[in-house]
Structure 1
Amino acid sequence: MSTKYRFREKYRIQLREKDHPPPHVHLTGGGVDVMLSLETVQVMTGRAPPLIIKEALAWVAAHQAQLLEDWKRCYP
């Protein structure tokens, strides 16, 4: 598991090395586990406070290209 970003002291965006398609990352911490699509930059599954989702999606959007490269490196 690789943490790509930490914010608000308890939340993390993670790319899990042993995961499944489609390309996504996990927003975890504070009792949440949300899957965020790397292709559409939207919530796939899970729930979290709206402001946390908004901040996480903004970060994923800003780093989408690198995250997709990382995904492809893990899942050629």
Structure 2
Amino acid sequence: MSTKYRFKNTYRIQLRERDHPPPHVHLTGGGVDVVLSLETVEVMMGRAPPLIIKEALDWVRSHQAQLLEEWQRCYP
């Protein structure tokens, strides 16, 4: 498991090395586990406070190309 971003001292965006398609990251911490699509930059599964989701999606959107490249290295 690789943490890519931490915010608000509670939440993390993680790319998990032994995961499954489609390409995604996990938003965890504070009792949430949300799956965020790397292709569409949307919530695939789970719930979290709207401001937390917004910050996470904004960060994923700005790092989407890098995250997709890393996903492809893990899952050729």
How would you bin the TM-score normalised by the shorter chain?
A: over 0.9
- 1:1-76 correspondence to structure 2 within 5 Å: 1-76=1-76
Q: Please, which runs of 5 or more residues in structure 1 have no aligned partner?
A: none
Give the share of equivalent positions with the same residue, in percent: 84
Give TM-score, length-normalised by structure 2: 1.00
- What RMSD over aligned residues (CA atoms) do the two structures have, in Å? 0.2
Q: What amino acid does structure 1 have at the position aligned with 2:48?
A: A
Alignment partners' CA distance in 2, 1:20 and 1:45: 14
Alignment partners' CA distance in 2, 1:31 and 1:71: 25
Shift of 1:5: 0.2
Alignment partners' CA distance in 2, 1:43 and 1:52: 12
Give TM-score, length-normalised by structure 1: 1.00
Alignment partners' CA distance in 2, 1:49 and 1:14: 18
Q: What amino acid does structure 2 have at the position aligned with 1:2?
A: S
Alignment partners' CA distance in 2, 1:70 and 1:8: 25
Ranges of 4+ aligned residues in structure 1 off by more than 6 Å: none
The total of aligned residue pairs comes to 76
Shift of 1:14: 0.1
Q: Please, which runs of 5 or more residues in structure 2 have no aligned partner?
A: none
Alignment partners' CA distance in 1, 2:7 and 2:70: 20
